[in-house]
Structure 1
């Protein structure tokens, strides 16, 4: 492991030890949007959206999932301008709300809460801890199908962190079936934001093998849910708002703000997190073949200079692998002292600007 990677792990250990006394700050008010031409359900937190009951994750296992609407959508025909976003691991759908707010009044961002968080339910037929990434991919696929039945057909999909892996896995599944995001759902744009890396792309931190101990350190057994990976909200600044110099960056959200915004989840199935990282019972990370997004759906990859998990060069390699574009024309690095893994929380305008500035890229 090179010195930079040792610093990453040292930062996590040191900051985890020192963040327990971070004081709360002001709450974040949840944004509520909606429209008059569509029948919306209302989530427990007051967010409008669509309650999709009995989504089948695998035979005998179902869950009720809620698709949150952040912004406005007054008729199905306008859904082509919506963004369908996938949240990351241990995050909830509300983690995309700051991005929707930064987009402005005409924003339409649809985000599904994965099980046991936000406005979604608890799996029936299996413990939450029994789920894996394949179940999550199935959930996204079924949600898109249900939305299509309602003539809600967004043309852009975004995935943050683990959500980026889920977008790749869904595209891979569809391609293996002779289809694609474009053919099946009419999705023309895919945007990976600080995405995790598939097995085919070298990843210094993940390939070092040093993540296994860290994951096990935050493994807990919840009687009602099974074995989970949980990060106490008091430690979020250490995990997500730390730069490559081991410092919590200016503008980092406090634990109180994170909880008030509903950005965090109870946790994730430990099995799914091991699968994501190629640790525990998994010998490799999920696979994504070369040139998976060569045509049909344009891919952009947004990467952050101060991300302690995935380096800029690794994200660029990911982009080139998935597109075959050796000139990196739609690879979008974001620079700045606050450009950490969760920049969309603390400075969502920077993400909006990065996407807007790369709107006309092509490969």
Structure 2
């Protein structure tokens, strides 16, 4: 799964010529020059819409083979470009599709509500709508990945579909889900989240942005301290500088403060989002990638999450990544390590 094959090059005129007599796939070009799909008027809730851009990192197959692409979900205060280093590390035949959530990267401002009014349910609706529109274009990835908050969104999407009598497999044909340093649902104990310490931290970085509403913003100058430090509070080898983070477009202005409170069960929310036990018991195989030096989620907590979601008490598809640089954003600083972790677990089953 890690090394994808059979993809056609993206041409300069934003059209991918299909092989074996297929039809070309026409692509839009984002503001930063990345090819992809501009999906207009995605409805997040009644009366609230937004234009979302699905970035294509790597090469996109002809329509009949687009299932070889991976669909990735970025984390909170990140942008779609945060998955670009991973796509690059996969090699020249990689195909990774990543949607910029509102007000970052190549996506737009919501209409009908302030950005700060959005919550995680709106983001889940966005993902459901994007996957549906890609299916209409015969682009049907079989793998979904979610990093950090993106892992929570993958869980929430599966939960919504299951509650409706469907699933990621039944609705979208997704056979593999990979959680990467995922945040934890209410059903799994979380030392940091359950301590109550996050409330003050979130409020310390709450900003009222004119025209956008209340946001949670982490100044890029503080990213090394937030994301590239180990459990002993040391900046790890390979950490990116603030200048490199901005140049890569990895960061977003911020997230709706409401959504971040919801993610952490703080502010107006009394609990984090829930995920049923055995949510990925069958249909879509789940793997959980966790990092030894992650200061937000401990290895044991990630393993408990995996067991909760799969019912696999032997942790066959739980993948700990060890090493002094294995921090929450290892996909930025050492993306090859994530590629290897996923490839080495490709034959796991439960």
Query: Which TM-score applies when normalising by structure 1?
Result: 0.91
Shift of residue 33, structure 1, vs aligned partner? 5.0
Residue 111 in 1 paired to residue 98 in 2?
yes
Secondary structure in 1 matching 2:26: coil
Residue 72 in 1 paired to residue 59 in 2?
yes
Residue 172 of structure 1: which of 152, 156, 159 is its match?
159
Aligned length: 332
Distance change (3 Å), C-alpha of 1:311 and 1:33: farther
Structure with the bigger RCO (C-alpha within 8 Å, sep 6+) is: 1
Conserved in 1, the CA contact under 8 Å of 2:290 and 2:319?
yes
Residue 87 of structure 2: which of 100, 104, 124 is its match?
100
Residue 357 in 1 paired to residue 335 in 2?
no
Which residue in the other structure is 2:199 paired with? 212
Query: Which TM-score applies when normalising by structure 2?
Result: 0.94
Which residue in the other structure is 1:88 paired with? 75
Taking only aligned residues, the RMSD between alpha carbons, in angstroms, comes to: 0.8
Which residue in the other structure is 1:6 paired with? none
- Distance in 2, Cα, partners of 1:38 & 1:224: 36
Shift of residue 165, structure 1, vs aligned partner? 0.1
Which residue in the other structure is 1:280 paired with? 267
Could you list the runs of 5+ residues in structure 1 that have no partner in the other structure? 1-31
Secondary structure in 2 matching 1:159: strand
Residue 108 of structure 2: which of 121, 129, 147 is its match?
121
Which residue in the other structure is 1:315 paired with? 302
- Distance in 1, Cα, partners of 2:125 & 2:116: 16
Conserved in 2, the CA contact under 8 Å of 1:76 and 1:152?
yes
Conserved in 2, the CA contact under 8 Å of 1:69 and 1:111?
yes
- Distance in 2, Cα, partners of 1:95 & 1:289: 29
Secondary structure in 2 matching 1:236: helix
Could you list the runs of 5+ residues in structure 2 that have no partner in the other structure? 1-8, 18-23
Q: Kindly report which structure 2 residues correspond to 1:1-363, keeping only aligned pairs within 5 A, or say none.
A: 33=10, 35-36=16-17, 37-363=24-350
Q: Which runs of 4+ in 1 moved over 4 A?
A: none
- Distance in 1, Cα, partners of 2:198 & 2:210: 25
Shift of residue 188, structure 1, vs aligned partner? 0.2
Conserved in 2, the CA contact under 8 Å of 1:33 and 1:69?
no
Secondary structure in 2 matching 1:112: strand
